[in-house]
């Protein structure tokens, strides 16, 4: 992200959250022009041990301090930081925040103008229940066992929602907000719940123009969804089906696409202004 927002140039973010969501949200705010300090326990952030490269990328431009928030000295140190800060992001459970003096009521009393975003696993009665991205995706119905998820959807969606919450609080002149990773995951249920991306859904495989196809040397993704794109495909691909929605259409197109290479189809799509892209396998990079 290269865009920088002038509003955030004098903004100091203190991130007291570990693992992925809070550092990812902080990284986004830094990319938008903010300065940031990350407060880690003396043992460090566990994320640095199991994914050091990503940890390093997320903390580029972020000052990292080791502070023991379980001690009086550590709590005094973070208070000094918060006296200078505009934003605080946390990702601990409510009980832990209270023990550290970083719960909502305590922060309101000491720092009434501070914008505070608490990233939690779940809201209300489930706020103290342990969980991670995998459990939140599972509860949202986004997994197909035994396949593991391809991305950390709840964590990254929660990070984005935390950024939105920060910007909303800045516009309001302060306040506190809570972002639940379980709710962030549930947001992605809609295409499935409404049937759009189920196997028999319009965008789940039933529309031949919105499908994955094997070329002679790899896979391509075709997204000729709107009538104008489907018409171009029919005009420029001999043997293409006659209708935009036909159960036999994917099989017909598959036979056609398999006859040429991925590079051939990419050039063909560019020539005729048809949305088509190669399927990239990150596991082979």
CATH code for position 59: 3.40.50.10540
Residue 264 lies in a domain: yes
Residues 145 and 272 in one domain: no
187 and 209, same domain (yes or no)? no
In this prediction, residue 14 has a pLDDT band, given cuts at 50, 70 and 90, of: very high
Same domain, yes or no: 168 and 256: no
If asked whether residues 44 and 183 sit together in one domain, one would say yes
In a domain, 196, yes or no: no
- Examine the domain organization and report whether 278 and 252 are in the same domain: yes
End-to-end CA distance of the chain: 22
pLDDT tens figures, 82-128: 999 999 999 999 999 999 999 999 999 999 999 999 999 998 888 89
Q: Whole domain around residue 249: which residue ranges?
A: 202-284
Judged against a pLDDT cut of 70, whether residue 4 lies above it is answered with: no
Q: How confident is the model at residue 262, as a pLDDT?
A: 97
Domain count, the chain: 2
- Dist. CA 58–CA 72, nearest whole Å: 29
Show which of 156, 191, 226 is a domain's final residue. 191
On whether both 92 and 214 belong to a single domain, the answer is: no
Regarding whether 157 and 55 lie in a shared domain, the answer is yes
Domain end call among 137, 161, 191:
191
Q: What's the pLDDT at 5?
A: 61
Note whether 186 and 236 are same-domain residues.
Answer: no
What's the pTM? Answer: 0.89
How far is Cα 14 from Cα 35, in angstroms, rounded to an integer? 9
Residue 268 and residue 156 in one domain: no
Q: Are residues 90 and 128 in the same domain?
A: yes
> Per the domain annotation, does 1 fall within a domain?
no
- Measured CA to CA, the distance from residue 220 to residue 280 in angstroms comes to 9
pLDDT tens for 241-253 read 766 555 567 888 9
What local confidence, expressed as pLDDT, does residue 246 receive?
57
55 and 99 both lie in a single domain:
yes
Helix (H), strand (E), coil (C) string for the chain: CCCCCHHHCCCEEEECCCCCHHHHHHHHHHHCCCEEEEEECCCCCCHHHHCHHHHHHHCCCEEEEECCCCCHHHHHHHHHHHHHCCEEEECCCHHHHHHHCCCHHHHHHHCCCCEEEEEECCCHHHCCCCCCHHHHHHHCCCCECCECCCCCHHHHHHHHHHHHHHHHHHHHCCEEEEEEHHHHHHHHHHHHHCCCCCCCCHHHHHCCCEEEEECCCCEEEEECCCHHHHHHHHHHCCCCCCCCCCCCHHHHHHHHHCCCCHHHHHHHHHHHCCCEEECCCHHHC
Last residue of one domain, picked from the residues 160, 191, 222: 191
Closest CA to 62 of 40, 86, 84: 40
**What pLDDT is stored for residue 16 in this prediction?**
97
Is residue 275 predicted with pLDDT exceeding 60? yes
Same domain? For 57 and 151 the reply is yes
**Does residue 150 register a pLDDT over 70?**
yes
Burial class (CB in 10 A: 0-12, 13-18, 19+), 233: buried
Note the pLDDT of residue 1: 46
- The string of pLDDT tens digits covering residues 33-42 is 999 999 999 9
Q: List phi, psi (to 5°) of 116.
A: -120, 125
């Amino acid at each position: 992200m290269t865009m920088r927002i002038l509003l955030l140039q004098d903004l100091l973010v203190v991130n007291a959250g570990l693992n992925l969501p809070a550092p990812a949200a902080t990284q986004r705010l830094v990319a938008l022009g903010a300065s940031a300090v990350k407060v880690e326990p003396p043992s460090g952030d566990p994320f640095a041990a199991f994914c050091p490269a990503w940890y390093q990328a997320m903390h580029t431009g972020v000052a990292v301090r080791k502070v023991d928030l379980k001690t009086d000295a550590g709590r005094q140190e973070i208070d000094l930081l918060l006296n200078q800060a505009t934003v605080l992001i946390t990702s601990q459970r409510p009980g832990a925040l209270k023990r550290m003096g970083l719960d909502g009521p305590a922060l309101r009393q000491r720092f009434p103008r501070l914008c505070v975003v608490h990233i939690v696993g779940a809201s209300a009665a489930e706020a103290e229940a342990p969980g991670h991205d995998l459990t939140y995706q599972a509860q949202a119905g986004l997994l197909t066992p035994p396949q593991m998820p391809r991305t950390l959807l709840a964590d990254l969606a929660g990070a984005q929602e935390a950024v939105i919450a920060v910007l909303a609080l800045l516009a309001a002149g302060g306040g506190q907000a809570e972002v639940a990773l379980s709710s962030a995951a549930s947001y992605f249920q809609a295409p499935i719940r409404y049937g759009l991306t189920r196997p028999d859904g319009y965008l789940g495989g039933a529309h031949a123009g919105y499908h994955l196809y094997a070329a002679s040397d790899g896979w391509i993704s075709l997204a000729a969804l709107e009538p104008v794109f489907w018409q171009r495909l029919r005009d420029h691909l001999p043997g293409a089906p006659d209708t935009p929605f036909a159960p036999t259409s994917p099989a017909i197109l598959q036979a056609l696409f398999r006859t040429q290479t991925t590079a051939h189809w990419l050039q063909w799509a560019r020539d005729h202004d048809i949305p088509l892209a190669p399927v990239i396998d990150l596991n082979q990079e």
